[in-house]
């Protein structure tokens, strides 16, 4: 979100004990079973969800809300379990009658009939399946007429696959993905008087993401990278598997106080601040079955890791003025961002040079909105504002050692980034200036007209510059 955050708001508990339970099931339908394999089979989606809320027995002024959901789906994209990752077919000869198919450990002389029979007899396997568990528990303490505390926790566990067309005949060679996340939130609402109240928010969010084919990489489960090249280019893979292990952990701590005061009949002031401390950890490496250590050293392009702790801070002041038929919202916001990253001193040898700390970014953003009633049933509004948007952290920290692969392609590219593309911790935040004017007019009792015109000026959109090492190797850098 521009110059702000997305607030997570969940339901609150009811005064009496009540609950809901619902379930549904369904399936994907298509007459194109030649495109969507196994679509004519019944593979239902399962969804079960429920909630319960009410007052906690024996504890005065304490309410709760709890909910949960379970979702399971095989998706609508299926492959055929024809090949295993360790299968080693041979299509090197110019004569197809010399080709050899290796499928599930068995060897066959190639023929179109043999290939078709192997495909038709193989089991279907889902390639975009998902299983997800979600839970939420919320406690609401009404301490007094002036004070309310809310504790809120959210948990989610998700396991899924994403379809890769190359693995349509070797589905077990594609990535499995797992994500587990926790969110804990605290809110203290304090009413000082009939004109003034405060919201004090604090939260902790943590998510862990893991992407791999096999959990263990030191054993003999992984086949050589050569298996990814057996079938040649533009063909379904007849062996091999994705070669990378990727792990990412993200933790964000938030502290956000806000105070609102109706100073007098005409002015409502709102003052607030926001502090975010992030901790980002990433580790990725390519499994090398033909190397005794199984993984390359950290100084190589196919083994990367980092820990970064960027900081965001903002403070704002807003005045809502109500003057007869005129309503004015005027505000000022200051944003600050420290990326906690490194910048190479020499882009001609980015992985071997010294580094300097990335600079910080900040902006002072004025905003104003005016609404004026032009009649009993019509009004016009005008607004103008500056906004500040911090870049996605991925583009700041990807390829943290600035390693450049000597070629422009590889049979086993990194799972979450483009080959030979490096991050930029000094990537400029996106800056937006928005102008808007509008008219709302009620036309009788049943109709209304609303017209709006706006102009949006966006600067520092994401791009990529092409640089070159002193050896002549080209690479990309986000700008």
As a whole number, mean pLDDT of residues 100-129 equals: 95
Query: Residue 362: CA atoms inside 13 Å, Cβ hemisphere, count?
Result: 9
Confidence of residue 170 (pLDDT cuts 50, 70, 90): very high
Rounded-to-integer distance, Cα 174 and Cα 160, Å = 11
> Is it the case that residue 473 has pLDDT exceeding 60?
yes
CA distance to 11, 49, 68, 148, per residue, from 55 (Å): 14, 21, 18, 15
Least confident of 169-173, 256-260, 291-295: 291-295
pLDDT tens for 339-369 read: 999 999 999 999 999 999 999 999 999 999 9
Phi, psi of 261, deg, nearest 5: -140, 125
pLDDT tens for 395-434 read: 999 999 999 888 777 778 888 888 889 999 999 999 999 9
Confidence of residue 10 (pLDDT cuts 50, 70, 90): low
Rounded-to-integer distance, Cα 124 and Cα 127, Å = 9
> Is it the case that residue 7 has pLDDT exceeding 80?
no
pLDDT tens for 121-169 read: 999 999 999 999 999 999 999 999 999 999 999 999 999 999 999 999 9
* Domains defined for the chain, CATH in brackets: 128-478 (2.40.170.20)
Q: Could you tell me if 204 and 275 are in contact, meaning their C-beta atoms sit under 8 angstroms apart?
A: no
pLDDT tens for 27-50 read: 998 888 888 999 989 999 999 999
Query: Which among 339, 306, 310, 312 has a CA at the least distance from the CA of 417?
Result: 306
Query: Which among 149, 151, 119, 157 has a CA at the least distance from the CA of 138?
Result: 151
């Amino acid at each position: 979100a521009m110059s702000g955050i997305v607030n997570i708001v969940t339901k609150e508990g009811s005064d009496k004990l009540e609950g809901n339970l619902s379930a549904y099931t369904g399936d994907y339908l298509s007459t194109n079973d030649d495109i969507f394999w196994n679509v004519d089979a019944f593979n239902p989606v399962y969804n079960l969800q429920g909630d319960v809320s009410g007052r906690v027995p024996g504890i005065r002024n304490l309410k709760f809300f709890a909910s949960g959901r379970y979702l399971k789906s095989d998706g609508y994209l299926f492959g055929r379990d024809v090949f295993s990752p360790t299968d080693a077919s041979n299509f090197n000869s110019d004569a197809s009658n010399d080709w050899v198919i290796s499928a599930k450990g068995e060897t066959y002389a190639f023929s179109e009939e043999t290939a078709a029979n192997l495909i038709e007899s193989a089991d279907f396997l889902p390639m975009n399946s998902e299983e997800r568990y979600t839970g939420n528990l919320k406690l609401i303490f009404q301490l007094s007429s002036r004070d309310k505390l809310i504790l809120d926790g959210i948990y989610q566990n998700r396991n899924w696959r994403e379809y890769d067309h190359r693995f349509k005949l070797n589905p077990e060679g594609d990535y499995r993905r797992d994500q587990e996340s926790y969110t804990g939130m605290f809110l203290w609402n304090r009413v000082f008087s009939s004109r003034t109240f405060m919201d004090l928010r604090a939260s902790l969010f943590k998510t862990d993401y893991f992407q791999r084919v096999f959990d263990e990489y030191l054993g003999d489960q992984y086949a050589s990278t050569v298996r990814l090249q057996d079938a040649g280019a533009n063909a379904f893979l007849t062996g091999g598997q994705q070669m990378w292990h990727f792990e990412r952990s993200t933790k964000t701590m938030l502290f956000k106080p806000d105070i609102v005061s109706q100073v007098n009949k005409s002015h409502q002031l709102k003052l607030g601040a926001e502090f975010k401390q992030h901790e980002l950890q990433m580790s990725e490496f390519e499994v090398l079955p033909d190397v005794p250590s199984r993984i390359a050293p950290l100084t190589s392009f196919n083994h990367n890791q980092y820990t970064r702790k960027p900081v965001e801070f903002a403070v704002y002041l807003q005045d809502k003025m109500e003057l007869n038929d005129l309503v004015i919202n005027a505000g000022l916001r200051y944003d600050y961002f420290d990326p906690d990253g490194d910048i190479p001193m020499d882009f001609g040898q980015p992985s071997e040079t010294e580094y300097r700390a990335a600079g910080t970014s900040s902006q002072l953003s004025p905003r104003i909105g005016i609404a004026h009633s032009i009649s009993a049933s019509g009004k016009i509004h005008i607004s103008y504002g500056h906004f500040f948007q911090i870049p996605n952290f991925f583009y700041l920290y990807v390829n943290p050692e600035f390693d450049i692969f000597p070629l422009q392609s590889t049979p086993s590219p990194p799972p979450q980034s483009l080959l030979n593309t490096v991050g930029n911790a000094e990537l400029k935040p996106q800056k937006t200036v928005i102008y808007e004017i509008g008219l709302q007019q009620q036309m009788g009792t049943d109709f209304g007209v609303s017209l709006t015109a706006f102009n949006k000026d966006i600067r520092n959109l994401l791009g990529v510059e092409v640089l070159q090492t002193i050896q002549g190797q080209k690479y990309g850098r986000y700008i």
